[in-house]
Structure 1
Amino acid sequence: MATSARVPPRLSSLPFRGSRAVAEGLLTWTKLRGPTWVRLLPDVYVHRGGHRADDHRMWCEAVALRLPPDAVLASRSAAYLFGADLLTRGDPVTVLLPTTARLRPHPRLSIVRSPAPARDRTRFAGLPVTTALRTAFDLGRLGPRVEALVAVDALLRRRVVELTALRAYAADRPGWPGSSLLREVLTLAEPLSESPMETRLRLLLLDAGLGPLTAQHEVRHGGRFVARVDLAWPTLRIAVEYDGDHHRERAQFRRDVARLNALRSAGWIVLRFTADDVLRRPEATVALVHQALAERRTTMPAR
């Protein structure tokens, strides 16, 4: 009989405590040391079929089994569970740990010691996490500045937290580390921003003095909807868009061409940028936008 047929159903996919499985007669320590099971943390195992080395959710499940009372998953790990993926490959699971609690260090674990009262803790997706409000508060205080804004925008976009509530929450905690950064981030936050790279592009333009600009602006011409653009100067009819990898797909490319032609027919200039433009050629990107704005200001009649 195949080994998989002997796997207890409740242990077939999710991490579990080895000692509990042995105590309940589901496995033996000898079997746990065999090739069917992968040891993730001390006394935490997963079936080899459910093991994905870079699956952050799996690691969150594993770490949650080892958490002492009142400890919770936090920061980017909590944001990931809320649907805002801010992780890079191999990022450790972040845990908010009470000052008196103990947790054995591990390479896949990042421990932050900070007060976490009951009102800042909840359960989401079956796991103990900081509330969305506390998660946004923590990430907005964590530099660098652009990453703090990306994180706050992402959580606002998921609608798990509201900007007014976050501002009020921050105002009640003025002395916390990173509060000055958070205050700046909250003046720049945009709930309509649709992706981390769109946030980075918007901040690049704002820092270059090219604001104010409107996010997710609906373009209408002759009373009819034409398109919704990422960033815009509506009175100048200039749009700036971030093009991710999905724009390279053939069907998406055809839609993009038709959409761009419709915007041009409506009198709009559309500048499109990629990740390389934002991250590796920021000066050239700013220069192109600045040139388009200057040309339009000199050719369009004053209103």
Structure 2
Amino acid sequence: MPKTPRRPAPLRGKIFLAREVIAAELLTPTELRSAAWRPLFRGIYADATLPVSHRHRCLAASDHLLPPEGAIAGSSAASLYGVGSLADTDPVEVVAPRAVRFGPVAGLRIHLADVPPDEIRTHGGIRLTTPPRTCWDLAQWLDPVEAVVLLDQMVQRRLVTVPALRAYAENRAGRRGHRRMSRAVDLVDPAAESPQETRLRVRLVLAGLPRPVAQFVVERAGAFVARVDLAWPELRVAVEYDGVWHAAEEQLHRDRRRLNKLLGSDWIVLHVTAKRMREDFDGFVAELRAALRSRS
């Protein structure tokens, strides 16, 4: 019968440096290669019974890999604040000063940039960038649409405010990246209710259309009629994103009945799906532009 791997009690449920446990004679190099342990980064292991998440990998990087001046940053920092959705195996995004010789490290996405000490904090036992600095980095490292998706969520979770982000950008006027940050902040909308809605809104604006109002409530004689995803109220034009949840027959019935009331109020309501956004966004933009022009 195969021999059961030895699992010393001090290492159960832990993340550790291989050289330290070998030096302490808790494990031999051969035992470390057993099924009892899972490599996270080169020279860093975890108890294989530990369900390793992206947060665990951030913790390992923060504790054992980063130089003292470095921090978890970007999308990884946002995920630690509860924003975005990273897979457990996605690279951990970090920032380290340019003057520090650091990397490359398999499993890390390393950015070299100066980060003042007051822009690094400890959150949940992990060293990461502050919310404003995280937003700055997201604006630099992601494409404009995906950056705003995460900035919207940072604002919605009250980790930072739009005025604070605007002030942060203004304090860096003239620096490389200032314009990207300012543009991203201008596109943030705390009223957005989903990442896909943000993607739709931002892509429409970047396509040259007037900025819509998110989650606009339509009333008739002071009574509620409907709430729409995006609207140009002065023109009575609205756009609804039909997500996967609309596949449910009852939900679809409720949505269409609600929007029929809008049509009765002389609104133009256009619908867009994920498939249309992916495969024929230009065609949808042309339809929406024509609808807006018809009401102008």
Which of the five TM-score ranges fits, normalised by the shorter chain? 0.7 to 0.9
CA distance in 2, matches of 1:26, 1:218: 64
SS in 1 for 2:231: strand
> 2:162 corresponds to which residue?
163
Of 182-191 and 73-82, more deviation after overlay is shown by: 182-191
Letter in 2 for 1:241: E
If the length of structure 2 is used for normalisation, what is the TM-score? 0.85
SS in 1 for 2:68: coil
Query: What is the CA-CA distance between 1:87 and the residue it aligns to?
Result: 4.5
CA distance in 2, matches of 1:172, 1:203: 25
Partner deviation per Cα, 1:70-94 (whole Å, 9 max, x = no partner): 2110011111111221657854111
2:57, 2:92 within 8 Å by CA — same for their partners in 1? yes
Unaligned ranges ≥5, structure 2: none
> 1:175 corresponds to which residue?
174
1:68, 1:102 within 8 Å by CA — same for their partners in 2? no
CA distance in 2, matches of 1:223, 1:9: 66
Letter in 2 for 1:46: A
Query: What is the CA-CA distance between 1:162 and the residue it aligns to?
Result: 0.8
CA distance in 2, matches of 1:24, 1:262: 73
Partner deviation per Cα, 1:234-290 (whole Å, 9 max, x = no partner): 133221122222322445334433433444444433222122322321211112212
Q: CA RMSD in A?
A: 2.9
Letter in 1 for 2:36: T
Of 106-115 and 15-24, more deviation after overlay is shown by: 15-24
CA distance in 2, matches of 1:160, 1:240: 29
Write out aligned runs for 1:114-263 (5 A): 114-142=113-141, 144-263=143-262
Name the CA shift for 1:182/1:26 in 2 (closer, same or farther; >3 Å): same
SS in 2 for 1:141: helix
2:5, 2:31 within 8 Å by CA — same for their partners in 1? no
> 1:301 corresponds to which residue?
none
> Is 1:63 the counterpart of 2:64 in the alignment?
no
1:86, 1:151 within 8 Å by CA — same for their partners in 2? no
Aligned pair count reads 293
Letter in 1 for 2:12: L
> 2:76 corresponds to which residue?
77
If the length of structure 1 is used for normalisation, what is the TM-score? 0.83
Name the CA shift for 1:238/1:26 in 2 (closer, same or farther; >3 Å): farther
Write out aligned runs for 1:88-99 (5 A): 91-99=90-98
2:5, 2:35 within 8 Å by CA — same for their partners in 1? no
Letter in 2 for 1:49: T
CA distance in 2, matches of 1:169, 1:294: 37
Name the CA shift for 1:18/1:89 in 2 (closer, same or farther; >3 Å): closer
Unaligned ranges ≥5, structure 1: 298-303
